[in-house]
Structure 1
């Protein structure tokens, strides 16, 4: 049975045009007019499905160590976030707007008098509580202690309210999710909305983010026990615009060009130059280095790793996430200068490959994606493959699902929580290996199954597994935050290829392309490329810095000035 299609043309129209005809939810405040029909309740709840309420922790320039845009820096990686930061202010405003509106809708549900059946009222109440819990979850994980309320505030109260301890708010969040779990159905026929499984999965996520591993393990287990979800058979296919539904998707917002709900975040920056894009938004070298080899070992321990062919013998998710080039496995006959078929044209950044093969015409054509031909071709030679296909080229919008949470996350949250509780048993290994088995499905390799029960080793494995599984899905940032690794992973440099004359002389001619040596990984799986730079085999693109204060975002200065009881997070 297909899961969570929050689509259906009718529903998307409601999301896009939310309540404009009936003016039930004005832009500046929640409604107080009584709802008199079921559709009014539905349209009020549709506020929770607005795409901006589910924005991910990502940006055009990258907020983590998996994503970069040429040599540009996001304020998070530059360490320059201040109380005037527009993103911090915008997310704060959006979440409080959503909470206020859903509290108003919830009050309408609780006070309705026969417009809804008892069953409808319970389901709608569960849906409202699901949204309220999710929006509070975002606030406490990003801002820490925040103003908390469960009833609509007057203007005077809004100017005087102080901040509530995040641990106290967390207990309220659990209660909201528990109500949603009790009242929401496991599935729907017809139009699709938030479900019992979505509430369980999101409860597990906030518990894990807050270090409450017992609750996280329990909620993840409950979601698994529903037997409603399963991993999509093909990892790469799951993220393409043509995959509209899957048993793996627990909660997501569909996109549709026809209805104006699409992805249009400078898509040409993701697309190779030979396809009319800019190839400017890139996976980092650190991400490429993080994928293990097919023997289950990291690149600095595996005899299978070849720095001259960095995609060779790697976890299949590496090739599904980053456009590969060079030899991929023993006996394939490919050279380091060879590329792969990406959107029907060969991709290779090799400086001597001035032409590439066009699979559409069967002819060679000018290679726009090597810096020998184009100065602004990919600075580090890498391009994203995950999510991207031919449909991104025109009209430069995309219909890929906006995935909020999927079943692989539930499995890995369960495993991580049990590892942190030191309750390691066969179920933990089974959860990790289920995700890994799917990753290797359809490849020429079998999953090098995880068998260790050592807590420290499993902690490393599950963290690296999350990085491999969820790259470019907006989850890496909060993983670094909650693991307290951001100041290490986001302080240093971004890296790329040496300047073209140097790279030909010092890298290509001696036969050292792509990486002249194997980068070493530390105990957290973070790669060190400084030796390549020192040897003249690469260059730094920019300096990154993550100050300790940025583990929490600032309270927006405009709000702090209006309400002196808010105070400010340390360091701002």
Structure 2
């Protein structure tokens, strides 16, 4: 079988290098540190493999949610609270880790150029990987911090205290060169152990170009990846993200996990996502905004489609909706289900309806207490929603070894379409790219996917942005989409929305009371009393829910304009007076 992704779990020693939890000191015994260290090919391999460390691949996710895709009860990430400052720990950690990664790769690069014993294929492989890592680390830095200190040779400690910031556009051109070098040197695929490929170099180049508004480069790079004919969409969207799907034809670059090597998600990272009926907390939830963003099966947004039923919000929706968020209520005409009815999820019925104090345990066909409604458990999901995407029965053991996908083919297709749309170079290839992604979502659904017929630039811009949100939810990409589209200040300002309060009593015979019952349930207005409006940017607006008393504000969110760039860490500026600060910090 053809495979196209990074996989080191076959080698315990390499896994130890990639995923050890040791502090990332710049000087260490198992990595590049001196000109006399390199004597064999294996020693080069060990040092190059440092580039795959999890710490060097930050993903824009957080426990409380960095974007409008998810939330943790009423808590706020500092980004959504608008409180990021130069002392922010996340900003400092990611800055420090990436510069450590850059330093390590520059050491390896320097030694590669001076060695005399590697064969040309081995040299090309190692050099290509190093160039890919350097480009990727610099990409994260300029996309999040803007202008940053840049260097292409090892710098001494003394020099590091003096270096100033380089304009991000200048660094971007260097990044392109690194990615091009990697593309030219790397293989399209491998047998045995898996390393970064040509496709990854092209795809990541497309991503940073898109982030920086260079649509010409983005379109070309994405097309280069597509034209390799090495990747295809995995046939089943619902299965793609599960722990059991590790050999996907869609994956371009990922960080592998393996229970065999104790490389897993565990603790709160698992428990917060699991429903309370299966030993979790149901605390990290998709937002109402995400639920409202999925199109109906006619291709229209919920405020335009006659198919949308606000009482049964999962009915007649793009299939990815119920593959991403655990559905409840009626899902299709004639199924006989009510808004209060749940669906089978992890061997239990899932429904947040306050009157459903007991639900069916499908494992033994008995009625059990419904801990996923707030009328039974006070800390059940504050908005009634829980995640489904990528979660399966194996999570119930409170750990999971699903791979962390950093780049996949569907993203490349949508990046290509978006870049061509922004260039107003709209042709059949643009529509086909969108259709490929959408058709896979509808595969085996029994419903034909809604085809895109317009060629209008503004209409297509909204279509591809909506497609990205439906396709890529929960994958850590929404934050940077909002940043590059200059929508973060609009989207991440306002209110965190949740259900009205209801009395909590686990006794099945006690009828719940409170605003949720009086305003929503008893008047037969559950789940949503009205249809939220979708604005010109494809963003749901729940302000009317608050005005009419149909929902409550869990917290105030705020995104000041300064946060479009992260602050230069104060700790770095205290030791380097030549480092200027981003505006507003």
TM-score interval w.r.t. the shorter chain? over 0.9
Q: Which residue of 1 aligns with 2:528?
A: 515
Q: Which residue of 1 aligns with 2:428?
A: 426
Change (3 A) 1:17 1:79: closer
Separation in 2 of the partners of 1:494 and 1:17? Answer: 37
The answer to whether the Cα contact below 8 Å between 2:10 and 2:193 also exists between their aligned partners in 1 is no
Q: Which secondary structure does the structure 1 equivalent of 2:497 belong to?
A: strand
TM-score, normalised relative to structure 2: 0.95
Separation in 2 of the partners of 1:371 and 1:187? Answer: 50
Note the C-alpha offset of 1:109.
Answer: 1.1
Change (3 A) 1:331 1:434: same
Note the C-alpha offset of 1:329.
Answer: 1.0
TM-score, normalised relative to structure 1: 0.97
Alignment pair present for 1:4 and 2:17: no
Note the C-alpha offset of 1:398.
Answer: 1.0
Separation in 2 of the partners of 1:273 and 1:180? Answer: 46
Q: Which residue of 1 aligns with 2:583?
A: 570
Separation in 2 of the partners of 1:440 and 1:55? Answer: 31
Note the C-alpha offset of 1:17.
Answer: 5.0
Please list the CA deviations of residues 140-180 of structure 1 after superposition, one character each: whole Å capped at 9, or x if unmatched: 00000000000000112101101000000000000000100
Change (3 A) 1:31 1:489: farther
Please list the CA deviations of residues 314-353 of structure 1 after superposition, one character each: whole Å capped at 9, or x if unmatched: 0000000000000011111111000111111000000110
Separation in 2 of the partners of 1:152 and 1:26? Answer: 18
Q: Which residue of 2 aligns with 1:306?
A: 309
Please list the CA deviations of residues 274-332 of structure 1 after superposition, one character each: whole Å capped at 9, or x if unmatched: 10111000000000000000000000000000110000000000000000000011111
Q: Which residue of 2 aligns with 1:412?
A: 414
The answer to whether the Cα contact below 8 Å between 1:57 and 1:475 also exists between their aligned partners in 2 is yes
Pick the aligned partner of 1:531 from 515, 528, 544: 544
Separation in 2 of the partners of 1:261 and 1:208? Answer: 32
Gap regions ≥5 residues in structure 1: none
Q: Which residue of 1 aligns with 2:497?
A: 495
Change (3 A) 1:148 1:386: same
Alignment pair present for 1:150 and 2:152: yes
Q: Which residue of 2 aligns with 1:227?
A: 229
The answer to whether the Cα contact below 8 Å between 2:276 and 2:282 also exists between their aligned partners in 1 is yes
Alignment pair present for 1:58 and 2:65: no
Q: Which secondary structure does the structure 1 equivalent of 2:556 belong to?
A: strand
Separation in 2 of the partners of 1:98 and 1:165? Answer: 20
Q: Which secondary structure does the structure 2 equivalent of 1:170 belong to?
A: helix
Pick the aligned partner of 1:251 from 250, 253, 265: 253
Q: Which secondary structure does the structure 1 equivalent of 2:134 belong to?
A: helix
Please list the CA deviations of residues 360-410 of structure 1 after superposition, one character each: whole Å capped at 9, or x if unmatched: 00111111101111111100000000111111121x221111111000000
Q: Which residue of 2 aligns with 1:341?
A: 344
Note the C-alpha offset of 1:444.
Answer: 2.4
The answer to whether the Cα contact below 8 Å between 1:322 and 1:383 also exists between their aligned partners in 2 is yes
Q: Which residue of 1 aligns with 2:510?
A: none
Change (3 A) 1:468 1:372: same
Q: Which residue of 2 aligns with 1:139?
A: 141
Note the C-alpha offset of 1:570.
Answer: 0.3
The answer to whether the Cα contact below 8 Å between 1:281 and 1:383 also exists between their aligned partners in 2 is yes
Note the C-alpha offset of 1:7.
Answer: 2.9
Q: Which residue of 2 aligns with 1:459?
A: 461
Q: Which residue of 2 aligns with 1:287?
A: 290
Please list the CA deviations of residues 227-276 of structure 1 after superposition, one character each: whole Å capped at 9, or x if unmatched: 00000000010000111110000000110122122122611110100101
Q: Which secondary structure does the structure 1 equivalent of 2:538 belong to?
A: coil
Change (3 A) 1:208 1:548: same
Separation in 2 of the partners of 1:15 and 1:367? Answer: 42
Q: Which residue of 1 aligns with 2:508?
A: none
Pick the aligned partner of 2:565 from 552, 555, 567: 552
Q: Which secondary structure does the structure 2 equivalent of 1:237 belong to?
A: helix
Separation in 2 of the partners of 1:19 and 1:564? Answer: 30
Separation in 2 of the partners of 1:443 and 1:262? Answer: 32
Higher deviation after alignment, 453-462 or 357-366: 357-366
Note the C-alpha offset of 1:13.
Answer: 3.6
Separation in 1 of the partners of 2:414 and 2:260? Answer: 35
Q: Which residue of 2 aligns with 1:384?
A: 387
Higher deviation after alignment, 6-15 or 355-364: 6-15
Q: Which secondary structure does the structure 2 equivalent of 1:9 belong to?
A: coil
Q: Which residue of 2 aligns with 1:327?
A: 330
Gap regions ≥5 residues in structure 2: 503-513
Separation in 2 of the partners of 1:207 and 1:128? Answer: 20
The CA RMSD measured in Å over matched residues stands at 1.5
Q: Which residue of 2 aligns with 1:374?
A: 377
The answer to whether the Cα contact below 8 Å between 1:133 and 1:177 also exists between their aligned partners in 2 is yes
Note the C-alpha offset of 1:510.
Answer: 0.9
Q: Which residue of 2 aligns with 1:77?
A: 80
Separation in 1 of the partners of 2:32 and 2:44? Answer: 16
Separation in 2 of the partners of 1:275 and 1:542? Answer: 28
Higher deviation after alignment, 211-220 or 262-271: 262-271
Change (3 A) 1:29 1:70: farther
Q: Which residue of 1 aligns with 2:131?
A: 129
Alignment pair present for 1:438 and 2:440: yes
Change (3 A) 1:30 1:544: farther
Pick the aligned partner of 1:356 from 354, 359, 365: 359
Separation in 2 of the partners of 1:330 and 1:308? Answer: 13
